[in-house]
Structure formats: structure tokens, C-alpha cells
């Protein structure tokens, strides 16, 4: 490994930040990690946009609106390796439960017909990203190189995956790291 640190960017799209929280469960291993890794765009750094030479992009959450699409594309463009992290990124997860209901019904329930709604109207400020009619997993919008399963993936999963990549090995997760019971 050269001395140059590997650049890692992270983001949460239609997710709950649970995967990021789980990442923080690396605890003292984070100290060892930052010896080899430099964080680029990430909620951990508050850097707003990816540098053009990121090595690894970790993405939590699925794609539910136009902003998610733009952010995902920025990651794809700037990261050599793009990783779908957690159930929502891989399958759409919890937010995708709305896929069984039409978007119109969802918005009407939330902003027009719901109990206690005042000044009922569908938000239409141009600053707001528009919702896609369905929530999509990441790989339906851009090419994804790796998938880390789990809700959330445990800190050990992040550790094994990143240390494999850093050591130049093909990442591999054994059964203990991905089983659910």
C-alpha cells in the first residue's frame, strides 16, 4: 500500500442514517482506519461535494426523489468503487413500502386529506426535490460495484469489507457476517 490515503465518500439517500450509525460502531477501529483512509464528502466531514478522485463511495438508502438521483450520479462520477450499503440501498427497504400505493394517494394522505392537516396543499416550492413515483434500489439507477447487506450492516461488515479492499483483496463476507438470526 502506498502512503497516499484512500479517499472515502459517504451519503445517506432515502435511508435513516442507521447504516452510518452502525459505521460509527467501529469505535476505536476508526482510529486505525483513518490512518489509511481520508473522508471526502460525508455527513462526518460536512464536505458538500465529492472530489473528482474518490476511491470508495458508500451509499446508504434507496432513491426516492430527484435530488437522490443527482447525488447518486455525482458519486458514480467521482468514485472508482460504488457500494450499496444496507437493505434500503439494495432493495429500496422501508421507504419502498410506498411502492404499493400510488404516489398521488400518498401525497394526498400526507398533505391534503390527512387528519389535522391545515392549509392543505401539495408542496410546490421549486427548491424541493420532486418524488419519483416509485422508490428504487441504487442499482436500478447507476451501476453498483458491491452490496453490503444488513439492516444495518454491522460494524464488523464495514471493517471486513474496507480492510479487504485496502489490502487489495476481493472483499468477501462470511456467513457469520451476513446471517440474520
Partner 1 sequence: MQQFIRQLAQENDFQSTCLLKILRAIQARYFHIPKAAIEQLAPILNIPRTQIQNVIAFYSFFHFEPRGKYDILISSSITDLMVGQKELIAYFAEKLGVKIGEVRADGVVSLNNTSCTGMCDQSLAGLVNGYAITKLTKARIDEIVENVNKQLPLEQWSRDFFKVEDNIIKSGLLLNQKPIQGEALKAALERGLKETWEEISVSGLRGRGGAGFETAMKWHYASEEDAEQRYVICNADEGEPGTFKDRVLLNSYAHSVFEGMTVTAAFVGATQGFIYLRGEYLHLYDKLEAILEDRRKANLLGKNILQHGFDFDIEICLGAGAYICGEESALIESLEGKVGIPRNRPPYPVTSGYLGKPTVVKNVETYFAAANIAIHGGEWFAAFGTAKSKGTKILSISGDCVKAGIYEYPFGTTIQTVLDDCGATDVLGVQVGGPSGTFIANNEFGRKLAFEDLATGGSFIVFNNSRNILDMVHNFSHFFAHESCGFCTPCRVGTSLLKKQVDKIVEGHGSAGDIVALEELCQLIKNYSHCGLGQTAANPVLTTLERYPELYQNMLKKISYEPGFDLDKSLETARRLANRDDAAAHLAQVEE
List residues near partner 1 by CB under 8 A. 66, 69, 73, 76, 102-104, 107, 122-124, 126, 128-134, 136, 140-143
Identify which of residues 53 and 140 has a Cβ nearer to partner 1 in the complex.
140
CA nearest to 178, candidates 147, 159, 145, 150:
150
Residue placing its CB nearer to partner 1 in the complex, 43 or 123: 123
Question: Smallest gap, in angstroms, from Cβ of residue 23 to partner 1?
Answer: 26
Residue 125, judged by CB atoms within 10 A of its CB (0-12, 13-18, 19+), counts as exposed
Query: Which of 12, 45, 32, 23 lies closest to 166 in space, CA to CA?
Result: 32
Task: List the grid coordinates of 11.
Answer: 451519503
Q: How far is the CB of 125 from partner 1 (least distance, A)?
A: 8
In the structure grid, which three cell numbers stand for residue 154, read together? 454491522
> Closest distance between partner 1 and the C-beta of residue 160, in Å?
22
- Residue closer to partner 1 by CB (options 22, 78) is 78
| Calpha distance 180→90 (Å, rounded) | 16
The residue among 110 and 167 lying less far from partner 1, judged by its C-beta, is 110
Amino acid at each position: 500500500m502506498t502512503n497516499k490515503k484512500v479517499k472515502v465518500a459517504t451519503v445517506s439517500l432515502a435511508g435513516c442514517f442507521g447504516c452510518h450509525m452502525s459505521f460509527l460502531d467501529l469505535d476505536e477501529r476508526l482510529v486505525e482506519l483513518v490512518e489509511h483512509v481520508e473522508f471526502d464528502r460525508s455527513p462526518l466531514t460536512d464536505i458538500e461535494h465529492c472530489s473528482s478522485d474518490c476511491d470508495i463511495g458508500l451509499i446508504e438508502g434507496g432513491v426516492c426523489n430527484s435530488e437522490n438521483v443527482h447525488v447518486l450520479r455525482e458519486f458514480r462520477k467521482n468514485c472508482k468503487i460504488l457500494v450499496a450499503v444496507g437493505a434500503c440501498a439494495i432493495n429500496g427497504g422501508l421507504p419502498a413500502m410506498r411502492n404499493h400505493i400510488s404516489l398521488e394517494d400518498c401525497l394526498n394522505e400526507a398533505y391534503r386529506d390527512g387528519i389535522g392537516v391545515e392549509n392543505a396543499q401539495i408542496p410546490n416550492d421549486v427548491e424541493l426535490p420532486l418524488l419519483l413515483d416509485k422508490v428504487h434500489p441504487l442499482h436500478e439507477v447507476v451501476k453498483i460495484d458491491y452490496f453490503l447487506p444488513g439492516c444495518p450492516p454491522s460494524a464488523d461488515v464495514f471493517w471486513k469489507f474496507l480492510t479487504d479492499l485496502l489490502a487489495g483483496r476481493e472483499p468477501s463476507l462470511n456467513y457469520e457476517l451476513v446471517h440474520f438470526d
